[in-house]
Amino acid sequence: MLNVAVIGAGLMGRNLARVAATAGANVAIFDSFPNALDASLKDLGQAGLKVRGSGDLAEAVRGADFVIEAIIENIEAKQAIFEQLSKILPDAILASNTSVLPITQIAARAHNSERVVGTHWWNPPHLVPVVEVIRAKNTSDATMDKTVAILKSLGKTPVRVEKDIPGFVGNRLQHALWREAIALIADGVCDAETVDLMVRNTLGLKLGMMGPIENADYVGLDLTLAIHEAVLHDLNRDQHPSPLLKKLVAEGKLGAKTGSGFYEWPAGEREAAAARLSEHVTQQMESPKPKRGLKSAK
């Protein structure tokens, strides 16, 4: 049986534990904050899952084959955890769930850093199938291969990211879209509702079935080239966050968590949005997907 340890009992950590336990792994979860640990164990227990919890790191990871770190996005904190883990577990694979921090830097203080790998799970991790597997500077082929195999055994769809670049693959694609979306609003082209209406009801309808590269092939690379020649020079290419985004943050308008951002968020709307998103992702995953059989051109 696979032994999995999750470091961090926040919302992401508890759902990572949920994935592993549901797949039949022997799971332990660690958090230095008792309230967070107790809340996670209660939630997982109510779901009928057996997960062992501990506030002692060495006890929590005892016997682990695969460790997933899901603590705060702070490079020093992650480096300290990986340094400790690498001493406690001389053979286990040590994975970080960071969404943007360089895996190579996270592994800088770890012993045998060839065992350190990035595994970027998308939220909610128990619903979204894809997990990015990121190769750090010293990550070995064996670690990459074993991580892919473990994630498959947990029912996920691992994708290999062979270079440790900021944002990996998914967040680079996502925030390229967000940069242009915010720029359109800031430039007075349209309002936030129009941006979201367009995305949900045009390319959003297609992306679940046909990704951007397949779609470029499908419509014709000659047409794609013509559109790029006409449009790319005018797209936003700022190397810094939008002044509009900075202004909203400076004013304390952080979105759903504060009740106002690009939209107004009345009480209860954030929870309602989370429920809608969960229902939508679940429906999408239950819908049959065609088997394409396409292979990348050489």
Tokens of 172: 């680079």
Distance CA 226, CA 222 (A): 6
Distance CA 37, CA 13 (A): 10
Res 291: pLDDT: 63
Catalytic residue among 69, 113, 120, 242: 120
Catalytic residue among 15, 96, 97, 99: 99
Please tell me the pTM assigned to this model. Answer: 0.90
Q: Tell me, yes or no, if 111 is annotated catalytic.
A: no
Query: Residues 126, 20: contact at Cβ < 8 Å?
Result: no
Mean pLDDT of residues grouped by 10 in the chain (298 residues)? 96 96 97 95 95 96 97 96 96 95 96 96 92 98 98 97 96 96 98 97 90 95 97 96 98 96 95 90 76 70
Catalytic residue among 112, 140, 153, 171: 171
- For tokens 């059989």, name the residue: 293
Q: Tell me, yes or no, if 86 is annotated catalytic.
A: no
Q: Which residues contact 11 (CB under 8 A, 6 or more apart)?
A: 123
The C-alpha torsion from 285 through 288 and 293 to 296, rounded to 10°, is: -30
Does the N-terminal peptide bond of residue 124 adopt cis geometry, omega within 30 degrees of 0?
yes
Q: Tell me, yes or no, if 120 is annotated catalytic.
A: yes
Q: Tell me, yes or no, if 171 is annotated catalytic.
A: yes
Catalytic residue among 96, 97, 132, 242: 132
Tokens of 157: 């769809």
